[in-house]
Structure 1
């Protein structure tokens, strides 16, 4: 299974061991260490939103696991509303992928609502 399948694939909870670290020293040097980062987050409660907001304000991309909450849970609704405000402020984007993930993007980055190849 490819790394993007692991990141965006559904089902189950993933740990740090599920992700393969690639040697990107040459890539880092080529881009000068600047640019957007992709963060993987888990939202267990309202406090976890602070780090996600900070990352988006800093211009980073976040994939957040919300499997600890039911999609009908009012906490998730409040969290999504709060994150919607952030992406509105920075002109980013937010989408929910299935019942278990949120994709939150910074300024100028949108998420296509269509799968590749469709």
Structure 2
């Protein structure tokens, strides 16, 4: 993993990451490896309903991969994503065919 990913509350600038109860979106211990490379390593965050958070980090630090995991576009190797109390890949059915990955190569046509 290149660089580090920082999740902050833009209103306060305070780094997020502590688990909380009643989160609308909770990411807990999320890790993802691609081709033997750690893309996300034990990422946790909590966002309440209506809360805005910011992701900052160098290119390659995992910002887009984290958003893909929260959206259910990729399956993490470890950890969980919970939205409104329902865990992705466990409590929430996701379609097996979702089309090309977001941000993937653009095909002519």
Identify the TM-score tier after normalising by the shorter chain: under 0.3
> Whose helix fraction is larger, Structure 1's or Structure 2's?
1
> Whose strand fraction is larger, Structure 1's or Structure 2's?
2
TM-score by length of 2: 0.25
TM-score by length of 1: 0.24
